[in-house]
Amino acid sequence: MTAQDAEALLEARGIVKIFGQHRALDDVSFALRAGEVHALLGENGAGKSTLIKILTGAYRPDGGEVRLQGAPVSFRDPLHAQSHGIGTVYQEVNLLPNRSVAENLFLGHQPTRWGLVRRKEIEARARNILVTYGLDIDVREELSSFSVAVQQIVAIARAVELSGKVLVLDEPTASLDRNEVDRLFDVIRSLKARGLGIIFITHFLDQVFALADRVTILRNGRKIATHALTEVNTTDVVRMMLGKDVAFDHHLTGLAGATHGAPCVRFAGLGRKGSVAPFTLDVHEGEVVGVAGLLGSGRTEMARLMFGIDLADSGQITVDGKPATIRNPAQAVAAGFGFCPEDRKLDGIFGELSVRENIIIALQAKLGWFRALNREDQIDLAGRYADALDIRAANHDMPVKLLSGGNQQKVILARWLAIDPSFLILDEPTRGIDVGAHAEIVRTINRLREEGLGLFVISSELDEVVAYSNRVVVMRDRQMVAELTGADVAPDRIVQAIAGTPVLPVSAVAEVAP
């Protein structure tokens, strides 16, 4: 498949990349044209990141070549690629949060006079540049004082100013809300109109259809196809990604109000000043309580209080009818709680530890220092749960950091299942996970419910919340504002509850001038 594209701005031909004995990319060709948004799709582990890292100079290919405007190029590193016009913006904004917006825009190439940074000039130029991106903000403020969306746009502006031919966007919308995504898309469309070639990586299919002109699909390190999006529909794309027909049966019916068992945990008046207003909530055996609300509404903070990560300053916790003291996660684990945190990399994964060790670590912590699980027990446990959750790893002795995001999430889930929990908190369990793994996680949640666990699941995706929740609590402004049951567990009702007052999360979008 080494079809050549005469119009190509940036082209990869027959790329091969090998890690150890694993072929991360096998004869992959890809062509980006000027003035197009080209989506790159694939499950985690399909080879998207590897391809991008080769195109931007972070990796060197073991075979094939990269061409820029028809001429072969070999980038030493991302900086070198940048100097040739290829800029990258990652999901996590890669700038300095405690420096000003203007400094961030010009970091590393500040206009200077006699070795001194020309502050005024930087600020004026920064303002002018950002206005063309629809941002009219005080560029002297610290970057961190703005919303993620604004930071993202600053990162894009920086990349475009530095490079100007090709822009790679690696999951730029993962932490944005609806309005912010729209704002970002406007910026991307205007860049496209300026003739930039844009590579767009995301997990959201609807965004691909809304924004991209063409799509290239990778699976297991091979290229499946490149299509204009006018030629294909969602089902086609999913089929190509997964290599099979999957039915997304998110809208299970008859779940809401279904019978459930005895209360397994009760949080009475639990709260912490400045974090979450006191709330009272029961979770029953065999029940999933979904949590909806915008980013920053206090969803995660609620979970942290339950698990003893933050110390509650009011309220009691009752487990199986008996009062429980939970002042730290160790006590929460002892009480039979488990918590899959939102930020896998920061709070969940022990990157250098093996898959096996990552699975047994919580159980081991619960058992204490001196009751060590022996190797056979570890292998048995890890094998059992890896199999139950279909964790795909070459072996369980490999470092968990080599797994894809979806598999890492399953490892953390397995870690908690291994302690035989009665109550499980999942904070955005499907974030940043490919479609296939996504569906599996949703299936697993349902299965755990059937097995009698109490679950508390935070998610931004309403369809998903509706699919597995018996009940939905809605958070707004750090308060629990609604508890929806029965027929009310529906996307439109949740949206209404979230928007219950006219006070929208203005702060998130206020800076984005129209």
Partner 1 sequence: MTRPTAQIHPAPQPPALRHRSVTAALLRPQFLALLVLLAINWLLFPGFFTTTWQDGRLFGSLIDVLNRGTPVAILAIGMTAVIATKGVDLSVGAVMAIAGATAAVMVTGGHSAVLAVAAALATGLLCGLWNGLLVTTLSIQPIIATLVLMVAGRGLAQLITEGSIVTFTDPVLIFIGTGAVAGLPTPVVVLIALTILTTLAVRRTALGLLIEAVGINRSAARFAGIKASALLLVVYAFAGLCAALAGLIVAGDIRGADANNAGLWLELDAILAVVVGGTSLLGGRFSIPMSVVGAMIIQAMNTGILISGFSPQFNLVVKSAVIILILVLQSPFAANLLQRRHLKAPPKAQEGDRA
Q: What are the residues binding partner 1 (CB under 8 A)?
A: 16, 18, 20-21, 62-63, 307, 309, 328-330, 332-334, 339, 341, 346-353, 357, 361-362, 364-373, 375-376, 379-380, 382-385, 387-389, 395-396, 415, 417, 420, 422, 447, 451-453
User: Min. distance of Cβ 157 from partner 1 in angstroms?
Assistant: 32
Longest dimension (CA), the chain: 75
Q: Which is nearer to partner 1, 308 or 505 (CB)?
A: 308
Query: Residue 505 and residue 507: Cα distance in Å, rounded?
Result: 6
User: Min. distance of Cβ 1 from partner 1 in angstroms?
Assistant: 14
User: Do 90 and 158 touch, CB atoms closer than 8 A?
Assistant: no
Q: Which is nearer to partner 1, 382 or 403 (CB)?
A: 382
Q: Which is nearer to partner 1, 49 or 408 (CB)?
A: 408
Look up tokens 């003291």; give the residue.
325
Q: Which is nearer to partner 1, 193 or 346 (CB)?
A: 346
Q: Which is nearer to partner 1, 21 or 230 (CB)?
A: 21
Q: Which is nearer to partner 1, 16 or 255 (CB)?
A: 16
User: Min. distance of Cβ 285 from partner 1 in angstroms?
Assistant: 9
- According to DSSP, the residues that pair with 122 across neighbouring strands are none
Q: Which is nearer to partner 1, 99 or 384 (CB)?
A: 384
User: Among residues 283, 278, 277, 365, which one has the least CA distance to residue 318?
Assistant: 283
Query: Residue 460 and residue 463: Cα distance in Å, rounded?
Result: 9
Q: Which is nearer to partner 1, 245 or 376 (CB)?
A: 376
Q: Which is nearer to partner 1, 174 or 334 (CB)?
A: 334
14: left (phi > 0), else alpha (psi -120 to 50), else beta?
left
Query: Residue 440 and residue 425: Cα distance in Å, rounded?
Result: 17
CB atoms within 10 A of CB 354: 18
User: Min. distance of Cβ 209 from partner 1 in angstroms?
Assistant: 35
- According to DSSP, the residues that pair with 23 across neighbouring strands are 18
Query: Which residues lie closer than 8 Å to 466 by C-beta, 6 or more apart?
Result: 250, 251, 290, 472, 489, 490, 491, 494
Query: Residue 240 and residue 229: Cα distance in Å, rounded?
Result: 13
User: Min. distance of Cβ 214 from partner 1 in angstroms?
Assistant: 29
User: Min. distance of Cβ 489 from partner 1 in angstroms?
Assistant: 25
User: Among residues 174, 229, 166, 158, which one has the least CA distance to residue 199?
Assistant: 166
User: Do 451 and 260 touch, CB atoms closer than 8 A?
Assistant: no
Q: Which is nearer to partner 1, 292 or 391 (CB)?
A: 391
SS3 406: helix
Q: Which is nearer to partner 1, 23 or 239 (CB)?
A: 23
Query: Residue 471 and residue 484: Cα distance in Å, rounded?
Result: 6
CB atoms within 10 A of CB 50: 21
User: Min. distance of Cβ 465 from partner 1 in angstroms?
Assistant: 22
Q: Which is nearer to partner 1, 382 or 465 (CB)?
A: 382
In this structure, which amino acid lies at residue 62? D
Sequential DSSP letters for 114-141:
TTEE-HHHHHHHHHHHHHTTT----TTS
Query: Residue 292 and residue 296: Cα distance in Å, rounded?
Result: 11
Q: Which is nearer to partner 1, 142 or 310 (CB)?
A: 310
Query: Residue 60 and residue 24: Cα distance in Å, rounded?
Result: 12
Sequential DSSP letters for 301-348:
HHHHHHTTSSPPSEEEEEETTEEE--SSHHHHHHTTEEEE-S-IIIII
In this structure, which amino acid lies at residue 483? E
User: Min. distance of Cβ 26 from partner 1 in angstroms?
Assistant: 10
User: Min. distance of Cβ 437 from partner 1 in angstroms?
Assistant: 16
Look up tokens 């793994």; give the residue.
437
- Planar angle of CA 366, 370, 373, nearest 5 degrees: 65
